[in-house]
Amino acid sequence: MKLFHYLFSLLTLLFLFQAKEGVSISPLQLITHPLDPLTKQEITLVQATVLKKYPTPPNHVFFHYVGLDDPDKTHVLKWASSGTKTPPQRSAFVVAIVNNSQIHELIINIKSSNVVSYKIHLDTGFPTLTLEEQSLAISLPLKYGPFVESINKRGLNLSEVVCSCFTVGWYGEAKSTRALRLECFSKNGTANIYVRPISGINILADLDTMKIVEYHDNVVEPVPKAENTEYRASHLKPPFSPRLHSFASHQPEGPGFTIKGHSISWANWKFHIGYDVRAGVIISTASIYDPEVHKSRQVLYRGYISELFVPYQDPGEEWYYKTFFDAGEFGFGQSMVSLEPLHDCPPQAQFLDVYFAASDGSPQHLENAICVFEQYGGISWRHTESGIPNEQIREVRSDVSLIVRSVVTVGNYDNVIDWEFKPSGSIKPSISLSGILEIKAVDITHTDQIKDDQHGTLVSEHSIGVYHDHYYIYHLDFDIDGVDNSFVKTNFKTVQVTDYNSSKRKSYWTTSSEVAKTESDAKTKLGFSPSDLVIVNPNKKTSTGNEVGYRLVPNAASHPLLREDDYPQRRGAFTNYNVWVTPYNKTEKWAGGLFVDQSHGDDTLAVWTKQNRGIENKDIVLWYVVGIHHVPCQEDFPIMPLLSTGFELRPTNFFERNPVLKTLSPDIVKWPGCGKP
């Protein structure tokens, strides 16, 4: 084993040396799937290749996105069906800012370490912010004279002040510069900084010069108190309530899933877990084994959260710009945090690490970024039959699911992102929100003092939890038994019975279905009339003649309440409908556009679909918006219990019959004390 580690270290050093020398090398032996995220070695190679093109000095290169350039889908599917071990050729896509001005888009051939193509971005919008420039920006106020005076004027201690970054949005400006708003907080007496804003100060920082370019101290509002805002267990004081009893989780036979590289096999499912610095977790090439036909069948080629739009609803000077795009502006993937074993994930969970590129292009390691585990509980199916004389029948099957979990923390909010796979064939993506509310400091301690619209709820003294929305848009590239699919809307309608001689009923409901032929046909606002939405393969039918498919089972629908011509809504126009369907296009990955920061809304899903392309019996992508209108309440303060939402992708005439009919319940280990008291 020591010899192995020695040889591995030697090979790694040789790889890094060759990369720096510009020698063509191939790290593909580390890759087991064409959609594997970039490895540490590949990121190092990409860094060396880009720096060779833009040598420093004199050029300064800052890496804002480094990710896998999606391989051609036909090549991936051919590779998957052929059973060959060598994946197709891999490339990386890079967005870099050179000399604090030009935004360059590059494609790097990883095998040859060559720049295959590059272009300079000249349109609107800027790339995802780097962690490093955010870290530099938040330190600027602490060394800025006017800010120090403002802190002294408020009787605060500068050493107890921390700041945070906020994107500025776009409000009709013809020309924009890369900039951030900075807001500061007091950490005196609590780690819960977001509930203690230092209000009345407006700060604008230029990111290219890394200087404060605008500063206004408008009004002094009281900083909300620190009492009862602490959430760290080590800092909480009695009384504690409620007391929860310990719970044991044990798998005597070990986990029922296997992980090879980033590929997962569990029960009747096989799929791939990818990672992207912008999207976070990506589920790919998901297929399910059908015992009736003795083979695995395609379901989902790729699924991920394409964007998260969070507009706050206070039009005031210190709040109007708070209309965030968490994936495009801050990077969902680079905002992922390490998961805590036994708390974020149960004891039997297995973890995956990931690498992403820092602003200098060097690989950064995120440990325990993703966990995979089985979850027992609930019922898969059951029936009690008491209608047969002298016979009592009760059949119950326990339910077991596989969960893929990650946590994305962007500023004050924690997003728990789950993908749940069930033996029945269902996939259940879900989102659970926790973290801290955005608080507006006010000179109000009771609702009786509120005389005008405060744009939120008084959740504590001097603390308004501001109204806001969370819109997650999922990119779901279905391949139901093949790439050629269609989108079918089934509407429910009430029918009046007119022939009273044939029935004593006055009405009943039935359905009528239509196949969406174009993108316009597919746009759907849910919640106004009952409907059933299914992706089908019109070329594959069951033995009874039904088209095989998967149904979207949505949660309660949320619709944007902003005017469509409002600047934030123009940028977030992908929320105008709950469901969209587009023909597959590898360049159409990001619903808010490739360059979201200060974008003008001219490269969004809403713009692409104006082409009104055909989508019938084609390789199509379904986009689904999960929305929450968040009216804060006192229970959300000082830290939120989980607020959850999600949806289900459910097989619909995909199998000949219940696919878990013959699935036996797992053995349940009975611990001492189980059963009746």
How far apart are alpha carbons 312 and 280 in whole angstroms? 24
DSSP one-letter code for 597: B
Q: What is the DSSP letter of 242?
A: P
CA quadruple 522, 523, 526, 529: dihedral positive or negative?
negative
Helix and strand counts by DSSP (H, E) for the chain:
8, 31
What's the gap between Cα 355 and its chain centre? 17
Buried b (16+ CB within 10 A) or exposed e, 111-137: eebebeeeeebeebbbbbbbeebbeeb
Q: What letter does residue 316 receive in the DSSP assignment?
A: S
Strand ranges inside 207-357, DSSP E: 211-217, 257-260, 263-266, 269-276, 280-290, 295-311, 323-325, 350-357
Catalytic, out of 69, 276, 326, 469: 326
What are the tokens at 278?
């912008």
Active site residue 521: no
Residue type, 119: K
Q: Does the active-site annotation cover 326?
A: yes
How far are the Cα atoms of 492, 493, 511 from residue 498, in angstroms, in the given order? 19, 16, 18
Q: Token pair for residue 292?
A: 């009736």
**Pairing label, strands 486-496, 531-541:** antiparallel
Structure tokens at 592: 């808010």
What are the strands, taking DSSP E only, across 70-210?
Answer: 91-98, 102-109, 114-121, 161-167, 179-186, 201-206
Strand order in the sheet with 456-460: 439-441, 463-466, 456-460
Catalytic residue, from 301, 413, 467, 471: name it: 413
Both tokens of 280, joined, read: 């976070």
Residue numbers annotated as active site: 326, 413
